[in-house]
Chains A and B, each alone.
Chain A
């Protein structure tokens, strides 16, 4: 284990399951022996607002917040919510984006345009380290759009080769109720294959 702290920023819209995703990360990196910290703003988020979780792991983590420009991995559950944090990423950051648009009110009311071609904007800066995943489509293929978050986690897991499959699967087993476990294991594997 090296001393460096790794920073993962999860961004999305309330209700997309970013909290479960960050709980899976916490479970995995604790198993791997790291110190972890994760921080999110609750409260009004479940009423359609944007949600971000700062997740950090390493030998010893101080700040619960990631410093501007220090994001190693951006795990975005929605396109616009990816773009909002483009400047937070390190030059060498890797990006996993769910190919889904959730229109903010200014757009649905017709006052603003939804930014176009967000993946291309990312590719300009982060080249082949940008991974666009059809999370919702894959999850719907498995019968439940709600599992898109775990598809994304599966895709992201490919970027951390030091963590074996089993640790991720342990996390799913420990954190999910039996009823939805198999679905999410499939979603995780499909996500892994997607990258």
Chain B
């Protein structure tokens, strides 16, 4: 019986069927569901690791000890994991080791749109790229066999449209790996990557890649579909699906293994079809390689964009060129109001960023829901780069600006992001005498990616109680002398504390307390009032509360006068169904027109 599974669920299923016993990940869209699903299998020891590098190291340790292990991450997670990964390629594995990396073309939920196929070439490891949920399961499973057969970590690549698409999957049984468990002391030359051993490993890696090239020619998921021989398309993953959708009449070379490329199969394809078109998302990866083999490509990135994600109509429009007939537009919808993501009503981040804006600080931010503070009306985050970067950036800016900037800059970072990559830059700030203030927004969970546990929450992925990081103690141990806490919902107190700390010419840390994510049921904050409402007679229509950007507060136009006779152009209204009663808007109202509602 086939079941409808999401691509990520299918990857989890494939890992389970392959006999995986250890899996580790740091959450990141569009990869997060893989570990959440794996954690449901009792046979697998699953964990949220503090970051992707740790996840790869945990999985590698498990694989060295003989089991099948997996690490999962989004595309940018691979940047963090790469230090471990690049050398792991030399060290090889024992039990099968698969690293899943999920790309996000168009950066739906990311800070860039890098093409992960480049890692396969860079690290000299094979990469498989599924095109639907069935392939997600099958490819994950076979990746473990390839890993053990060729003694190499194997990459499996997802993309948003594969990882987050559901389709039918034929499920199979779990088969435990036949590899014996245990560590082998005699493997020092293979596993200790000092120069003398590295030079030997380099030859092994090159030989392995040649063997894998030969294997790629026989790999069943690299398949030719010969239809009309006039045009042949080389494609993989979602790009194959789009091309097949709009040009079903063409012939295809569908690549299931995207690195190394099957040279003989490619040669054969060029013999069988007249003209070859390469359809691929993001970089001209296949195109560059195939051209380097000496073939002439009829079309590729000359027509197909190398930015953003593809779609059936982009593939069609690009390849048809002038022959493409655009459908007539019925209504111009480009200018209708957009619906950008926003912080939830009652979110503690909104209150904190409102305060930072009041203080006029230049805010070095980080990756998380709080990145939304850069959007209007708050516009209170001025820079962010990658996980953990805000602290180093703030410290570095302080170095350049000197005493000038004391009291003018701060770094802001979420709890999960701080544990991921924020500790070393904070250490540096203290060690090298920086003065930036770091504000840790502790909302008790990894919020943006859908509420995953981390070492600061006190629970594991399986919901078991675990050690809980004490941020105060941690940063004191790093040498931070000035550590304070604030209740972000108390605007006045937060304003004073942030002002005092940022004006110091020494590093300091402020930790937000009692501001759990509004979607986090376990740690819900209880507000004294169920909601707030507007006293219409008092509202002057000054729009100050609208500056919070709270989805529950809206503007209602219409001229009128207040009770005191002041003219106004409209009033605000609070949606009782959306308002959780955080009371922040009542604190910013100068006319006392926002009052607690009754239950």
Contact = CB atoms under 8 A, between A and B. Distances in A.
Contacts of A86: 330-331, 333
B117 interface: no
Contacts of B448: 43-44
B312 interface: yes
Given A39-B161, A47-B341, A106-B337, A61 B167 contact: yes
Given A38-B4, A109-B549, A110-B546, 6 more contacts: A38-B165, A38-B166, A48-B342, A67-B311, A86-B333, A106-B338
Closest A-B pairs by Cβ, 6 of them: A43-B109, A108-B554, A110-B555, A44-B341, A64-B165, A63-B245
16 contacts: A35-B167, A38-B166, A39-B166, A47-B344, A48-B344, A49-B340, A62-B245, A63-B241, A63-B242, A63-B312, A64-B167, A81-B339, A83-B333, A108-B551, A109-B554, A110-B555
Contact of B244 (A36, A38, A62, A69): A62
A180 B132 CA distance: 32
B167 A36 contact: yes
Contacts of B313: 67-68
User: Which interface residue of A39, A40, A64 has the most chain B CB atoms within 10 A?
Assistant: A64
Nearest to A110: B555
Given A42-B30, A62-B241, A110-B555, A87 B165 contact: no
Contacts of A64: 132, 161-162, 165, 167, 238, 241
Given A110-B570, A114-B337, A44 B109 contact: yes
Contacts of B553: 108
A47 B450 CA distance: 10
Contacts of B329: 87
Nearest to A13: B339
A49 B344 CA distance: 11
A43 B30 contact: yes
B342 A87 contact: no
B166 A46 contact: no
User: Which interface residue of A26, A67, A87, A103 has the most chain B CB atoms within 10 A?
Assistant: A67
Interface in B324-378: 327, 329-331, 333, 336-344, 369, 372, 377
A50 B329 CA distance: 21
A109 B551 CA distance: 9
B341 A45 contact: yes
A41 B313 CA distance: 18
B316 interface: yes
Contacts, number: 152
B29 interface: yes
A141 interface: no
B107 to A, nearest CB: 10
Nearest to A55: B166
A37 to B, nearest CB: 5
Nearest to A69: B327
A143 interface: no
B242 A65 contact: yes
A84 B553 CA distance: 24
B124 interface: no
Contacts of B238: 63-64
Interface in A56-108: 61-69, 80-81, 83-87, 103-108
A9 to B, nearest CB: 13
Interface in B508-530: 519
B108 interface: yes
B89 interface: no
B483 interface: no
A121 B342 CA distance: 29
A85 B551 CA distance: 23
B168 interface: yes
User: Which interface residue of B162, B242, B312, B344 has the most chain A CB atoms within 10 A?
Assistant: B312
Contacts of B377: 109
B339 A49 contact: yes
Interface in A123-160: 125
Nearest to B541: A110
Contacts of B543: 110
Contacts of B245: 62-63, 67
A10 to B, nearest CB: 13
A115 interface: yes
Interface in B288-345: 311-313, 316, 327, 329-331, 333, 336-344
B337 A47 contact: no
A121 B244 CA distance: 34
A1 interface: no
Contact of A110 (B132, B336, B557): B557
Interface in A1-56: 13, 26-27, 30, 35-50
